[in-house]
């Protein structure tokens, strides 16, 4: 049992939406990177319908952190308890609870509690963790409120799609092209600038300037989590173009008996209030969906084609 002081935080928000809708958003942790600003990636390791084990990556005070959490879901009581089983320093223990209460008139109240200790009970470390809990909890609750109150229109606001190519070359060479993102300004015409830091192996933080087919320039910031043995790179844009509230994606390199399939997946939450400002008076969500699908799809397809050329031409040289 830890002898360090237990620090407690509590955050709550009133939501003009039913308790079931709110609970559904917090229960679906795999989609948190798309719906919660701090979350970068969530991998479900185990789930039996009630008990869940997750590997999570999120930003905290400007840093990318990772841990493993166990959750117990109680949909009847609309309550989720969680515990970090492998916290990252300076956290020594972290427990918490999500609760959703029904309120009069079809509204609800969402509360998030955290109990944590830090190794050695150092005040500076405790302040760091408390600041991260506060800023991340506020961001998460604010976005849950925003999404839940637009629940009936969420299907119009969320857009998911993928593009793929076949490659007659080694999967390792394709993955290498996608991983070496710092070289993209020299390899990919629509990437004009890219700054990269990789303080932890496989965790890439980048800022990038790109051009779309219509000549528009965008500056984005992203965190990428790389899984070389699985042939996957997942990413979350932490600074998005004007039309998107959120953007997550994945590059997948899938070998089979006859070659390799390379897939680019995108999921986007559209920023409705920016549609007319970006696309012109009278533009609607349908126009925004077409525009984003075309812009992201053209750039990712161009990158896929270049990855294919890299792998296939390297094989011919060998």
CA dihedral 282, 285, 287, 288 (to 10 degrees): 110
pLDDT band at 203 (very low <50, low <70, confident <90, very high): very high
pLDDT attached to residue 316: 53
Per-residue confidence at 218, pLDDT binned at 50, 70, 90? confident
> What is residue 1's predicted lDDT score, i.e. its pLDDT?
43
Q: What pLDDT score was predicted for residue 298?
A: 93
For the segment 2-29, what is each residue's pLDDT rounded down to a tens digit?
A: 567 999 999 999 999 999 999 999 999 9
pTM (2 decimals)?
0.92
pLDDT (0 to 100) of residue 161: 98
pLDDT value at 215 more than 90: no
């Amino acid at each position: 049992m830890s002898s360090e002081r237990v620090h407690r935080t509590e955050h709550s928000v009133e939501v003009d939406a039913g308790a079931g809708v709110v609970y559904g958003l917090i229960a679906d942790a795999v989609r948190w990177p798309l719906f919660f600003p701090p979350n970068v990636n969530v991998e479900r390791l185990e789930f039996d319908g009630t008990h869940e084990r997750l590997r999570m990556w999120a930003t905290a005070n400007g840093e990318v952190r990772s841990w493993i959490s166990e959750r117990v879901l109680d949909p009847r009581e609309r309550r989720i308890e969680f515990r970090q089983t492998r916290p990252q320093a300076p956290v020594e223990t972290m427990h918490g609870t999500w609760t959703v209460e029904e309120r009069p008139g079809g509204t609800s109240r969402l509360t998030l509690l955290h109990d944590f200790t830090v190794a050695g009970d150092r005040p500076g470390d405790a302040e760091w963790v408390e600041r991260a809990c506060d800023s991340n909890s506020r961001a998460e609750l604010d976005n849950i409120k925003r999404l839940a109150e637009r629940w009936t229109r969420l299907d119009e606001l969320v857009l998911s799609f993928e593009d793929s190519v076949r490659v007659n070359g080694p999967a390792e060479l394709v993955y290498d092209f996608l991983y070496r993102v710092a070289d993209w300004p020299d390899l990919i015409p629509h990437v004009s600038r890219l700054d990269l830091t990789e303080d932890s192996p496989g965790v890439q933080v980048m800022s990038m300037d790109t051009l779309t087919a219509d000549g528009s320039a965008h500056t984005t910031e992203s965190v990428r989590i790389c899984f070389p043995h699985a042939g996957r790179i997942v990413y979350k844009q932490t600074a998005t173009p004007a039309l998107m509230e959120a953007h997550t994606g994945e590059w997948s390199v899938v070998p089979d008996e006859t070659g390799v399939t390379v897939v680019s997946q995108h999921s986007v939450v559209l920023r409705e209030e920016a549609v007319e400002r970006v696309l012109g008076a009278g533009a609607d969500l349908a126009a925004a969906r077409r525009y984003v699908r075309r812009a992201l799809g053209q750039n990712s397809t161009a990158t896929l084609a270049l990855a294919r050329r890299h792998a296939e031409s390297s094989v011919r040289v060998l």
